[in-house]
Amino acid sequence: MGSPAVKKEVPVPHPLEDLVRMERIPHIWCSGCGTGSVFTACLTAMKNTGINYDDFAMVSGIGCSGRGAGYINIDSFHTTHGRAIPFATGIKMARPETNVIVFSGDGDLFAIGGNHFIHAARRNMDITVICVNNFIYGMTGGQAAATTPHEAKSSTSMGGNPESPFNLPLLAYAAGATYVARWTMLHSRDLADSIEEAINHKGFSFVEALSPCPINYGRRNKQKPLDTLREYHANTIIKNNADPGELGIDFKQKVILGKFVDIEKPSHDEQYHRLYHETSTKS
């Protein structure tokens, strides 16, 4: 008789494996970085929509989170710094049936790419913009960004940031976004649900995901990786439909999370189609 049967462990594939370019793993994100959690929430949301993966495209700009497009196993585009949104706009308008997701960082989307963001929101361009907001330029080593809190330290503001950050949900709302939400990467379920809603939303949808950069933000601001997560847990409150004007981020007070805007309004491609294609076939 042979030896008793040894139960062979068959590795169970990760439920999101079909959405990841496994040959490109390990990824470049530092340990303790929040970007991966936001990325996972995004993949989970895509899966939950039930939409065929070939009908998605992901576009990223430059930066740590901008590498997202390089790991997702769908048609994906890693563009130039700040230009993910106009690239996505080109895709959407040339092939409206595509679900276009922009996955990028705060520096990319709101400093160099800020103009593109507000105009895509104004047009109600039917794309989903996910911003991994880590309050800093991570990839280049921690310089002050348009989202760095006032008086926070960065490699270009060692004496404290003299500037004030954007309130991103307010900016998105004021510019015309028709879906706006904010979560932290710790609220992974809410974040994934929100991204799913944003994808299904017809029109410009924006989800801000607060996410730690322990290496280039935490270190200089005396925040250990777990401190930041504790803050995300203890110093946040969920307040759906909160006034976008009250959404400035200050962890000394409570940071407001939730869904703030969800408006029905025809998207740019719908308006264009109605005004140009339907009329020109009639005439």
Helices (H), the chain: 35-49, 68-71, 84-94, 106-107, 114-122, 168-175, 188-200, 225-234, 268-272, 279-282
The span of 26-34, 50-58, 94-102, 155-163 binding ligand SF4 (CB under 6 A) equals 26-34
Task: Give the integer Cα–Cα distance in Å for 134 and 71.
Answer: 20
User: What does the binding site for another protein look like in residue numbers (CB under 8 A)?
Assistant: 21, 24, 53-55, 57, 59, 69-70, 73-80, 83, 85-95, 97-98, 115-116, 119, 268, 272, 276-277, 279-281, 283
For 252, the token pair is 């000394």
Instruction: Give the shortest CB-145-to-ligand SF4 separation in angstroms.
Output: 11
For 27, the token pair is 């990824």
Write the DSSP symbol of residue 126. Answer: S
Q: Is 71 in the site for ligand SF4 (CB under 6 A)?
A: no
The residue (of 125 and 146) whose beta carbon lies closer to ligand SF4 is 146
For 101, the token pair is 């997701």
- 264 CB burial (10 A radius; 0-12, 13-18, 19+): exposed
| Distance between start and end Cα atoms, the chain | 86
Task: Give the integer Cα–Cα distance in Å for 208 and 153.
Answer: 22
Task: Give the integer Cα–Cα distance in Å for 76 and 42.
Answer: 14
Under rule CB under 6 A, which residues in 123-152 are in contact with ligand SF4? 134, 138-139
The residue (of 224 and 277) whose beta carbon lies closer to another protein is 277
Binder of ligand SF4 out of 68, 82, 203, 214 (CB under 6 A)? 214
The residue (of 137 and 166) whose beta carbon lies closer to ligand SF4 is 137
Q: Is 30 in the site for ligand SF4 (CB under 6 A)?
A: yes
Binder of ligand SF4 out of 85, 207, 215, 256 (CB under 6 A)? 215
Residues of this chain that bind ligand SF4 (CB under 6 A) = 29-30, 33, 35, 64, 134, 138-139, 213-216
